Amino acid sequence: MLLEDQHPHNKAIMIAVLGKPNVGKSSFINHLLGFDLSIVSSKPQTTRNNFHCAFTIDRTEVVLVDTPGVHSNSQELNKRMNGQAQMGAEGVDLNFVLLDLTTNVVGEFKDFIKNFEHPLAKTWIIFTKADLINKEAITLTETMKALTELCPTIEKHFVISSKDGHNIHELTGAIQDASISGPHMYPNGDVSNKNQRFFVTEYIREQAFRLLKEELPYEVAVVIDEYKDVRKKDEEAAPEAHISASILVNRPSQRAIVVGRGGSIIKEIGVNARKKIEAMTGGKVHLNLHVKVSPKWFNNNFVLDEIGLPRTQNSARVWRKK
């Protein structure tokens, strides 16, 4: 019997989606996937881990690797986030470097290259947020010349918008043409190499990014304390999950802000995150949130390992709990 994932007409491609923080990497991925898998916020450095986001177009499987925005920062958390971007680009067939058209794209690209340690293999430039500029007025000839001088492996460029879908169809056609004959990595309909526990922590953190101000979202991490799938006697019944998670903050004063007056903020985080988790699991979710003070968790090996950020070459000797 011919296995569907090994059909001779199957094609596949893995693409790293790279760029500076806030250029629209996760929004772009969600637009191509057709649903909001990856978390998005108006604040930079929302994505912290790299992970696969898979979808198919006819017999072509496209695996996009979402990555944290590349930036320079000496904090251990940020070093590991940059490490995730480098790792996300390892072994891929193609790199997409996203540049936000509302910024100085050549300057931003220079800054990206400076902080991205490895030379880029085959690369396409994706100019994002085209809905925010006058598309008729842009000419990219000089810009592309400057970018190609900085990175000779650039092959193509596209001007897109994840808000109104501008040029997305042309881009997916080009992705299909660039894909290679081979088996699929996610033949059973899985969409990621990360599990539901990971996305639960992301959907809670997404609310923290939306509802908390200034530096606070950057000093928040989420860890799962307990995740229980409740087995129902009736096999047809929708699944049910009981989840307890801790929101870690750096200082006691931040705990009070995250809880909010009369528990209002943590309640809003919980209600919004639960809706998204239920949409993912397709069943009822009981979500219990606690706020814990974990001083300088962003320099703590144990916490960083727990949230899926391994040490990198640039990691400092970091503080350990005795």
Ligand X SMILES: Nc1nc2c(ncn2[C@@H]2O[C@H](COP(=O)(O)OP(=O)(O)OP(=O)(O)O)[C@@H](O)[C@H]2O)c(=O)[nH]1
Q: Which residues bind ligand X (CB under 6 A)?
A: 19, 21-27, 40-42, 44-47, 68-69, 128-129, 131-132, 161-163
> Residue 244 forms beta bridges with which residues?
226, 288
Closest separation between CB of residue 66 and Mg ion, Å? Answer: 6
Q: Residue 1 or residue 137: which is nearer to ligand X going by CB?
A: 137
Applying CB under 5 A, which part among 8-16, 42-50, 150-158, 254-262 lies near Mg ion? 42-50
Closest separation between CB of residue 163 and ligand X, Å? Answer: 4
The β-bridge relationship of strands 11-19 and 94-100 is parallel
CB of 269 closer than 8 Å to CB of 283: no
Q: Which residue is nearest to ligand X (CB)?
A: 69
Q: Given candidates 22, 30, 47, 294, which one binds Mg ion under the rule CB under 5 A?
A: 47
CB of 78 closer than 8 Å to CB of 251: no
Closest separation between CB of residue 15 and Mg ion, Å? Answer: 15
Asked if 82 interacts with Mg ion (CB under 5 A), we say no
Closest separation between CB of residue 188 and ligand X, Å? Answer: 27
CB of 202 closer than 8 Å to CB of 272: no
What is the distance in angstroms between the CA of the first residue and the CA of the last residue of the chain?
57
Indicate which of Mg ion, ligand X, none lies near residue 45 (CB less than 5 to 8 Å, by partner kind).
ligand X
Q: Residue 61 or residue 202: which is nearer to ligand X going by CB?
A: 202
Q: Residue 26 or residue 192: which is nearer to Mg ion going by CB?
A: 26
What Cα–Cα distance (Å) separates residue 13 from each residue in 66, 88, 94, 182?
Answer: 14, 14, 8, 9
For 111, other C-beta atoms within 10 Å of its C-beta total 15
Closest separation between CB of residue 313 and Mg ion, Å? Answer: 23
Closest separation between CB of residue 82 and ligand X, Å? Answer: 11
Q: In the stretch 181-220, what mask flags binding to Mg ion with x, by CB under 5 A?
A: ----------------------------------------
Interface positions with Mg ion (CB under 5 A):
25-26, 46-47
